[in-house]
Structure 1
Amino acid sequence: MTVLALDIGGTKFAVARVAADGTFLDRAEHPVGQSPTATLRGLVADFAGPGLTGVGIGSAGPIDAAAGTVSPINIPRWRDFPLVATVRRFVPGVPVSLAGDAQCMALGEWWRGGRTSSSLLGIVVSTGVGGGLVIDGRPWTGRTGNAGHIGHVIVDPGGEPCVCGARGCLETIASGPGMVRWALAQGWTLAAGRPDARALTAAARGGARIPLAAFHRTAAALATAILNTAAVLDVRDVVIGGGVSAAGDLLLDPLRDTITERAGMPYLRDLRISATTLDRDAGLHGAAALALLAAGEPLREPS
């Protein structure tokens, strides 16, 4: 059995042909370009072939899984774009499944990332903050397909407005741009170069006070959202991915410390917080798992 996995991001599309055991047979990625639909068509055409039994798609959102549409914030041309129907036209007769990109990251980490528990919360901390859930060994996507979108848990009711229309969402604090914006407002300056998340991380590694404070502020906000989610859903494993997670212990150490300090109930005290082990491929593995599950294929243990 072979499936096609697609990872639709705001700046790049990735695709892989994947065997039933999760092995990548081929893999490629391409910038979105001026015509995202044409880019998508080209990638699918290059990788689809005889024997394909399903397609799984993880897409930046918001998504509407029931309608098969997506509206990625960073692809303005795609608003309520019929992604599932479009891909079906490229691969006639092949079933197509859709979930959010962070949901696929969580599913991929659960399946192929060496995790041992039956439930997992995956969080992508990057330009935005997304999330996904695996509960009792199955992806839990909710009514609209957006379950687990932890970036829009409100952690500061009096905080700044969010692009979603609410105020004080986790994303306003913990996203890379949110961290940089706060640091600049506190007086952080660079002698040269662009003040972005990468520069903020480098400055924090060098011991700069304000960048370090930005990471601790982000860790505190993440801890609030994680503890609230874990209290409701009783997950044990929490996996952090995305560009900001590349900061490693700069983020994970204060995050673990804050969770230890704040956790009350016994089942919240042994949360396991870790970084992604699959990096850029987690979403592709999760998209492949979507297609396999839709085909009634049990997810095999990695060999």
Structure 2
Amino acid sequence: MTDLVLALDFGGTKIAAALVDPVGTVVRTARVPTPADPWDAVVSLVSSVVEDVPVVGVGIASAGPVDTVAGTVSPINVPSWQAFPLRASMAALFPGVPVELAGDGVCMALGEHRHGAGRGSTHMVGLVVSTGVGGGLVLDGRPFGGRTGNAGHIGHVVVEADGEPCSCGGRGCVETVAGGPRMVAWARQAGWRAPDDADAALLAAAALAGEEIPLEAFDRAGQAVGMAIAGAAAVCDLDVAVIGGGVAQAGELLFEPVRRALKAHAGLSFLEGIEVRAAELGGAAGLVGAAALVR
């Protein structure tokens, strides 16, 4: 095995690492739950993946906020890692090779752009609709992180002016409507009777069975996502939106209202051709995109 990049995908609930070849194929991978103090787990994980294989670079996708200028990460769900120097720490483990860092949303978008559903696009947004709603931008064929590396947080575009409080500190964000747990909570409040451990997958099953309240929950979520895409498209002149994540596994339950909202809200002539595509790389998108940072 030659010309491989080590990719690290660091999140609040899991850490994944992989060796990725030049065409975006994951050659070897492993993952562990994220502990309270994660560095030792990161070292052990990457060591088990790399073993004695030389790597030509290291790409890091991290939950944010990130600071790509300083090379630090401050994941919201990992209190012990506030302004943690992740890029420098990884560089110390792998001296002599380039080490690149970006937010996990940017890496998901880049992975899908280079090797997944975003192929052929020049200006795209990638979204992960799951427990939360994350996102990233690829503009003019290149990952775009903005001033600090945090551009593309489409889950925190406001779609309800007087909406529910969000974990980010704002109100009415896309995530408060389209995040899986928020969808379930809204459905319960609307009268949906479900087990205590009901999740977005059960909500989707109920919607597919024709239950009115779950159908409305997915309609609300898709409308919110579509409105956010319309706004991002107007600002960034996008041609493609790629949507993945657990909630997106519901297929047309989510995608149909997304497209309907885009038709209603993306009225400018240059937005008429924007495409909505289902992500292709699944959970590997962040790793593939992290590797692409180095390529």
Distance 2:79 2:206 in 1: 33
- How far apart are residue 34 of structure 1 and its match? 5.0
- How far apart are residue 174 of structure 1 and its match? 1.2
Equivalence for 1:139:
143
Mean Cα displacement is larger for which, 174-183 or 282-291?
A: 174-183
**Which of 61, 77, 81 is residue 78 of structure 1 equivalent to?**
81
Pairwise mapping of residues 185-224 of structure 1 onto structure 2 (< 5 A)? 185-190=189-194, 192=195, 194-224=197-227
Pairwise mapping of residues 177-188 of structure 1 onto structure 2 (< 5 A)? 177-188=181-192
Residue identity in the other structure for 1:259: L
Equivalence for 1:87:
90
**Which of 12, 15, 19 is residue 14 of structure 2 equivalent to?**
12
- How far apart are residue 197 of structure 1 and its match? 1.4
- 1:32 partnered with 2:34: yes
CA RMSD of aligned residues (A): 1.5
User: 1:72-129: CA deviations, max 9, x gaps?
Assistant: 2232322222211221222223321111111101000000015212121101111111
Equivalence for 2:242:
239
Distance 1:262 1:24 in 2: 38
Distance 1:82 1:162 in 2: 27
**Which of 266, 269, 279 is residue 272 of structure 2 equivalent to?**
269
Equivalence for 2:127:
123
Gap regions ≥5 residues in structure 2: none
Distance 2:265 2:146 in 1: 28
Change (3 A) 1:285 1:181: same
Mean Cα displacement is larger for which, 202-211 or 17-26?
A: 17-26
Residue identity in the other structure for 1:183: A
- How far apart are residue 229 of structure 1 and its match? 0.6
**Which of 236, 249, 254 is residue 251 of structure 1 equivalent to?**
254
Equivalence for 1:301:
none
CA contact (8 A) 2:36 2:78 kept: no
Percent identical among aligned pairs is 53
Equivalence for 2:45:
43
Residue identity in the other structure for 2:42: L
- How far apart are residue 214 of structure 1 and its match? 0.7
Mean Cα displacement is larger for which, 207-216 or 41-50?
A: 41-50
- How far apart are residue 23 of structure 1 and its match? 2.5
CA contact (8 A) 2:226 2:260 kept: no
User: 1:237-265: CA deviations, max 9, x gaps?
Assistant: 10001111111111001211221233311
User: TM-score when scaled to structure 2?
Assistant: 0.94
- How far apart are residue 53 of structure 1 and its match? 1.7
Gap regions ≥5 residues in structure 1: 293-303
Distance 2:84 2:205 in 1: 38
Distance 1:153 1:40 in 2: 32
| Number of aligned positions between the proteins | 291
Pairwise mapping of residues 165-180 of structure 1 onto structure 2 (< 5 A)? 165-180=169-184
CA contact (8 A) 2:75 2:82 kept: yes
CA contact (8 A) 1:176 1:197 kept: yes
